[in-house]
A = this chain, B = another copy of it.
Amino acid sequence: MALDRSLISSLAIFAGLDGHDLDAILARARSSRFPKESEVFGQGQDAHSFFLLLSGHIRVVRTSPEGHQVIARYINEGELFGIAMALGRDTYPATAIAAVDCVVLTWPNSAWPEMQTRFPAFGASTYRTVGSRLQETQAQVMEMSTQQVEQRIANALLRIVNQSGRKTAEGIEIDFPITRQDIAEMTGTTLHTVSRLLSAWENEGIVRSARQKVIVTDPHALLLVADNRRRKPAP
């Protein structure tokens, strides 16, 4: 079954390609659905394909030899992921899990070299993707080296909310389910500490949270926390 070019025509990755190019690209792709919490690919598996997230949210998790988990990033709609080829790897360096029901386009790795050479705009765009992820990751190292846990968590929340926030009556809500444990794994801390901080912030009126849900009600105040520029309320 052919895929319609309207699926991808508006994505930044494919900017500058005409309808004919888009059809050629889609001809090699397969569209599939991944239910919530299912695995798109696993760390260490042979990297046979690369992916584009059409809808939903994907969690990218790395597991250490000792079994510790770290969330490397969340993938948003329209982003490429599992591009092991771009990193010169033949296995996936992390596991990708659907945070909600997802729709994903899949290309076999054999399509990669052709797409790179035949569509320079696509090549440049994947280049930029890897480059910006490097920058984000370096910024994260910086954060972990110099900031305290409270600021790191505030920054992480702000980043998620900016990328995947949804406006509601109460504030900006993260539009996929996220647990305290998840936030802990993004910031290199424990779910206990995250829980304590979210509770404290809830008392201050900065966030509202519930099971697997976080709403930032006062983004400005959260920015102050992130910059360590507010006086702490009495305990």
On whether the beta carbons of B87 and A132 are closer than 8 Å, the reply is yes
Asked, given contacts A144-B144, A145-B70, whether A133 binds B132 with beta carbons under 8 Å apart, the answer is: no
Can you name the residue of chain B whose Cβ is closest to the Cβ of A133? B134
On whether the beta carbons of A135 and B68 are closer than 8 Å, the reply is no
On whether the beta carbons of A134 and B72 are closer than 8 Å, the reply is no
Residue A177 CB within 8 A of the other chain: no
Residues of chain B with a CB closer than 8 A to A68's CB: 142, 145-146
Residue numbers of A with Cβ under 8 A of B are 62, 64, 66, 68, 70, 72, 86-89, 93, 127-128, 130-135, 137-138, 140-142, 144-146, 185, 188
Minimum CB–CB distance from A157 to chain B (whole Å) comes to 17
The copy count of this chain in the complex is 2
Contact residues of A: prevailing secondary structure: helix
Minimum CB–CB distance from A80 to chain B (whole Å) comes to 14
On whether the beta carbons of A188 and B131 are closer than 8 Å, the reply is no
On whether the beta carbons of A141 and B135 are closer than 8 Å, the reply is no
Minimum CB–CB distance from A13 to chain B (whole Å) comes to 13
CA distance A137 to B140 in the complex (A): 9
Pick the residue among B72, B86, B89, B142 that contacts A62 (CB under 8 A).
B142
CA distance A128 to B127 in the complex (A): 10
CA distance A86 to B86 in the complex (A): 13
On whether the beta carbons of A88 and B188 are closer than 8 Å, the reply is no
On whether the beta carbons of B64 and A134 are closer than 8 Å, the reply is no
Asked, given contacts A87-B131, A87-B132, A88-B128, whether A137 binds B141 with beta carbons under 8 Å apart, the answer is: yes
Asked, given contacts A138-B137, A145-B144, A146-B64, whether A131 binds B86 with beta carbons under 8 Å apart, the answer is: yes
Residues of chain B with a CB closer than 8 A to A130's CB: 127, 130-131, 134
Among the interface residues A72, A131, A133, A140, which one has the most CB atoms of the partner chain B within 10 A?
Answer: A131
On whether the beta carbons of B140 and A141 are closer than 8 Å, the reply is yes
Residues of chain B with a CB closer than 8 A to A188's CB: 141, 144-146
26 A-B pairs in the complex with CB atoms less than 8 angstroms apart: A68-B145, A68-B146, A70-B142, A70-B145, A72-B138, A72-B141, A86-B127, A87-B131, A87-B132, A87-B134, A87-B135, A88-B127, A88-B128, A88-B131, A93-B138, A127-B127, A130-B134, A133-B134, A134-B134, A134-B137, A137-B138, A141-B144, A144-B144, A144-B145, A144-B188, A145-B185
